[in-house]
A and B are shown apart, each in its own frame.
Chain A
């Protein structure tokens, strides 16, 4: 296992991944893969990306020792502050990487799906930066839940297209974006926002997000002179978590914990694809999927729109079956508690997505007294004040 390339040339992480797409998309996936392999190696590309990541987005982000929270819970907790990035979440790391590819490929039009609106905002942002047309598909339910981000996208000149199919959330937005891509594949670049979809997206997005883990590794070695015991991150499609985990893949002493959304409960509506799902093919890749016994995709639910998705990236499926990572769940109510806990302890308002990971620290700290834990604070919570307000009422 350790010597094999992951993913392999067909885009498989073990038995997961692949390219399950309509024939129309085959050629452009092949082109994208070729361009990515070639361009991402070039020094000029690396330099340009690095420039924008630091000068425009604000990298490196701090690895902040959360003193109060650590004391409160009894472990050494570090927050990787992706919430401090421009646009307010880790999504910009990937969007900057991919927009440079799109520019290289000469595409004029950018499309994307968004759940929480964080990815949509980051795509609208980089599209403005490089003067490209931008259209964002967003579930109609999420358009209502994340109004602030809809407004931001509009100010940035993006067209936000509400999607009224299915559960009107992230999965449906993603399907609609793929249909657009199938129709306009010639001039359009699909800027997918997580480690999901057909090869090469899961590995390309993982690479662009790995800056999170690479920085964290250097920072913790400097601060603690040793590796952390645990890495904790929330898992929607899986990009912020994979970005944190991947650079530590070979460090066997470092345990990975992915936190999925249990929504209203594991036996009710949830988004815990790895915990409650079964192997299936959704939106281009084989992975774990929430589905019924006839293979119809189930409606997901989470209070965090960015986690509200019935699938998960294939590399996480691979980590699960090889036991490289452990996957746990946190429900809506607990996530709100996590949200409040971080706000009150540290004066940092987290997005509802990483609030799931924050809450889990409470459980983890019981068994991991005084251990070093890095948690990915993938985004800030301004966008979620409406939801939390309603929840408290």
Chain B
């Protein structure tokens, strides 16, 4: 399913999107498919699947540790696509790959995108690939009909936000803080004003991520944005419960407690 279609559907229902980030291969390689399907079952609208990288510059300790664990257990790009192919027919919601540039570059962008397409992945976002370095990337993604999501942050100027929006498809990822991933106190009024400002340069949905870790934040931010993204909070929960047999069940319950639907 295309991300843009998902937002149209949600819009018709008057609903906001709930996006969940999980790293591939965490807590174990076998858990990823189960976790993704569980996310779908408990009402997540879009799955953001992190492809672990050894040196994640924009990630805080929680996601760094998860990436290291996944890599230590042998998570790699080939296994990622095997897992994604196993979801075909079962996963009905859009899935977006979030990663860093080097794993994509090394695998070969064409090969990476072709496999994404075959696995019915909807879109891709690369943390350390600003639009200025993205010419070939966007061209290729378009060829494979993949939606390219870019980031806008509190340090992004207004004119630059327009440029980024012009290169984006699916939605704009607004990073709520000047900083890395991990739980944060967020200033709702300030965020609302920031999102409003970005609306002036784009018709695309705007989703807010980084730092969001509790229901009250989800509620507040959903009022003025088109969706919220939760990452570290979910990863932390998985980590804390990774030894339990009923991990997936517990996770579903936790996600439902964060969701406002």
Contacts and interface: CB of A to CB of B under 8 A. Distances in A.
A, B assembled together: yes
Interface of A: 10, 18-28, 165-166, 171, 175, 178-179, 182-186, 278-284, 289, 291, 293-297
Interface of B: 53-55, 57-60, 64, 68, 71, 76-78, 100-107, 127-130, 132-133, 150-157, 160, 164, 175, 178-180
A24 B155 contact: yes
A280 B102 contact: yes
Contact of A289 (B57, B102, B127, B160): B102
B128 A22 contact: yes
A17 to B, nearest CB: 10
A222 B226 CA distance: 70
Contacts of A289: 102
Contacts of A22: 57-58, 127-128, 151, 153
B157 A24 contact: no
10 contacts: A24-B179, A26-B156, A166-B68, A179-B59, A179-B180, A282-B55, A282-B102, A295-B77, A295-B107, A297-B55
B103 A19 contact: no
A191 B95 CA distance: 39
A175 B58 CA distance: 9
Given A24-B178, A165-B64, A179-B180, A280 B106 contact: yes
Given A183-B180, A284-B128, A166 B105 contact: no
Contacts of B76: 294, 296
Contacts of B107: 294-295
Contacts of A282: 55, 102
A23 B157 CA distance: 11
Contacts of B180: 179, 182-183
Given A20-B101, A291-B102, A27 B157 contact: yes
Contacts, number: 113
Given A28-B155, A291-B102, A166 B54 contact: yes
Contact of B57 (A19, A28, A179, A291): A179
Nearest to A186: B178
Contacts of B78: 294
A319 B157 CA distance: 36
A16 to B, nearest CB: 13
Given A23-B164, A175-B57, 6 more contacts: A19-B132, A24-B175, A24-B178, A26-B130, A27-B155, A281-B100
Contacts of B64: 165
A297 B155 contact: no
B101 A281 contact: yes
B106 A183 contact: no
A41 B160 CA distance: 28
Contacts of B128: 20-22, 281, 284
Given A26-B155, A183-B179, A296 B54 contact: yes
Given A294-B77, A295-B107, A26 B160 contact: yes
Contact of B103 (A178, A182, A294): A294
Nearest to A25: B155
Q: Which of A171, A283, A284, A294 has the most CB of B within 10 A?
A: A294
B130 A19 contact: yes
B208 to A, nearest CB: 14
A292 to B, nearest CB: 8
A24 B104 contact: no
A18 B127 CA distance: 15
Q: Across chains A and B, which 6 residue pairs bring their CB atoms closest together, nearest first? A: A295-B106, A295-B103, A183-B179, A295-B102, A23-B151, A22-B58
Contact of A297 (B102, B130, B133): B102
Given A26-B155, A295-B107, A171 B127 contact: no
Nearest to B127: A22
Contacts of A186: 178
Contact of B178 (A10, A178, A182): A182
Contacts of B103: 294-296
B57 A283 contact: yes
B82 to A, nearest CB: 13
A156 to B, nearest CB: 28
Nearest to B75: A294
A296 B54 CA distance: 5
A23 B156 contact: yes
A209 to B, nearest CB: 25
Nearest to B210: A24
Nearest to A26: B130
A297 B54 CA distance: 6
B254 to A, nearest CB: 27
A291 B101 CA distance: 13
Given A179-B57, A183-B178, A296 B71 contact: yes
A282 B55 CA distance: 8
Contacts of A183: 178-180
A178 B57 contact: yes
A182 B77 contact: no
B157 to A, nearest CB: 6
Contacts of B57: 21-22, 175, 178-179, 182, 283
A171 B59 CA distance: 15
B67 to A, nearest CB: 10
Contacts of A179: 57-60, 180
Contacts of B59: 179
A23 B55 CA distance: 17
Nearest to A29: B130
Contacts of A283: 55, 57
Contacts of B102: 280-282, 289, 291, 295-297
Contacts of A185: 155, 178
A114 to B, nearest CB: 17
